[in-house]
Amino acid sequence: MIKTSAILLFLNYCLGKKVDMSMVVAKIDWRQPYTFASRQALLGFCFDGIERLTKEFSEELKQNPMGRDLLMTWMGKAQQIRRQNIKVNVVASKLYSMLREDDLRCCILKGQGNALMYPNAYSRNPGDIDVWVNASREQITEYAKKHFMIGDDIRYHHLETTLDGVPVELHFFPGIMNNPIYNARLQKWFKRNADLQCSNVVSLPDGIGEIAIPTTAFNVVYQLTHLYHHFFDEGIGMRQIIDYFLVVNDFSKNVFLNNKSSKITPSLFFDKASCTRQFESELSLHSLASLFPLKEGSTSHPQGRGRKPLLLVARNRYALRLADQSGLRHILRDGTAGRGKFKVNSLQFTTYIRGILLIYCEFLGVVICR
């Protein structure tokens, strides 16, 4: 059985933080983190941590070595993920250039933009390419019919196609909310900030090319609405939690600390004064991961009279149960988006309302609804 604390410690270590892993390395069954990483689409990301362990905790590894077969399998998967990232980067740059040459302003959502915030941009499991095209539904659909093979399944906010074997989604707008009033506000906010997102051009690793990606400030809002949507429709994987942790961490350094060490420096489109509450200056993966499933027996209200910072409240109030790979508590589903449904009982629904929507209403509300 792999403990929650051990997994979260290891994931923080993989993020490049200084963590004492000696006790974990000496006792862990290496098949368990491999299975967890495989199910959560984190094999490449976690293998970077394994490589670092061999340098920093070599003595502990001698006492509890990883089997050669497992190590070679894990290494092979990591190399495969690296090659996939290179291919997706090439296609993303090609797609961006195609659209720009045809005078369509656009930006690449999530995926390869998020990968740039990782310690190793090639370690994140890639998926499809989501591109937001700043044009009307009719213009995008007409363009897609001329340049791509598309079927009849044109959805409310995107259509699906492929480019050089890589799945592509052309978005009419980045995302949606289920509530029509909130959705109208969100779409208005998207339109108001579209030009800036399409102008935020960054270079991909190794000179592969350039793409436009949303600013970090935009992603704080957009990617949380994406998590909100996936929570009910498909479930949330740990890769998505790590993605959002990196977004929030980058945002906090840029906006509240004005730290130049950020890997993606956004041009902010709202004043800091418009945010009535600040994030903690230092975040932990545990504080974000703990917003999701509620550990049985935990309380629904924080102790004490004074109001604590939101992420501190969440850290105390919610706990992520990672007792074993088969019991990842509904919300953490296997792999990436698009497979399987999950059950939501009253306890989990309460967790969601008190966790995600609390932050959504308190922080994002002042940005979107002002």
Q: Are residue 250 and residue 306 in the same domain, yes or no? A: yes
> Is 42 among the domain residues?
no
Q: Are residue 296 and residue 161 in the same domain, yes or no? A: no
* Angstrom distance (rounded) from CA 318 to CA 312: 10
Q: Are residue 342 and residue 364 in the same domain, yes or no? A: yes
Q: Are residue 284 and residue 246 in the same domain, yes or no? A: yes
pLDDT number for residue 153: 72
- Both tokens of 242, joined, read 């790590």
**Domain boundaries, position 133:** 102-214
* Angstrom distance (rounded) from CA 100 to CA 41: 32
- Find the length of the chain: 370
> Is 208 among the domain residues?
yes
**171 φ/ψ sector (left φ>0, alpha ψ -120 to 50, else beta):** beta
Domain boundary among 183, 214, 245: 214
> Is 25 among the domain residues?
no
Q: Are residue 342 and residue 356 in the same domain, yes or no? A: yes
Cβ-contact 173, 194 below 8 angstroms:
no
Q: Are residue 138 and residue 239 in the same domain, yes or no? A: no
Domain boundary among 214, 245, 268: 214
> Is 352 among the domain residues?
yes
pLDDT number for residue 350: 44
pTM (global) more than 0.75: no
pLDDT number for residue 192: 93
Q: Are residue 133 and residue 250 in the same domain, yes or no? A: no
Domain boundary among 156, 179, 214: 214
The CATH number that applies at residue 122 is 3.30.460
* Angstrom distance (rounded) from CA 115 to CA 228: 21
**What is the helix (H) or strand (E) element at residue 132, kind and residue range?**
strand 129-133
Beta bridge partners of 171: 132, 158
Taking each continuous run of H as one helix and of E as one strand, the counts in the chain are 16, 6
- From the list 300, 301, 278, 287, the residue with the least C-alpha distance to 363 is 278
Q: Are residue 282 and residue 369 in the same domain, yes or no? A: yes
Q: Are residue 197 and residue 231 in the same domain, yes or no? A: no
> Is 22 among the domain residues?
no
pLDDT number for residue 49: 95
Q: Are residue 197 and residue 251 in the same domain, yes or no? A: no
pLDDT number for residue 232: 76
Cβ-contact 111, 129 below 8 angstroms:
yes
> Is 331 among the domain residues?
yes
> Is 37 among the domain residues?
no
* Angstrom distance (rounded) from CA 314 to CA 339: 28
Q: Are residue 192 and residue 340 in the same domain, yes or no? A: no
> Is 220 among the domain residues?
yes
Structural domains in the chain (count): 2
* Angstrom distance (rounded) from CA 81 to CA 122: 7
pLDDT number for residue 36: 92
The parts of the chain modelled with pLDDT lower than 50 are: 1, 261-262, 264-283, 291-354, 356-358, 361-370
Q: Are residue 224 and residue 368 in the same domain, yes or no? A: yes
pLDDT number for residue 6: 85
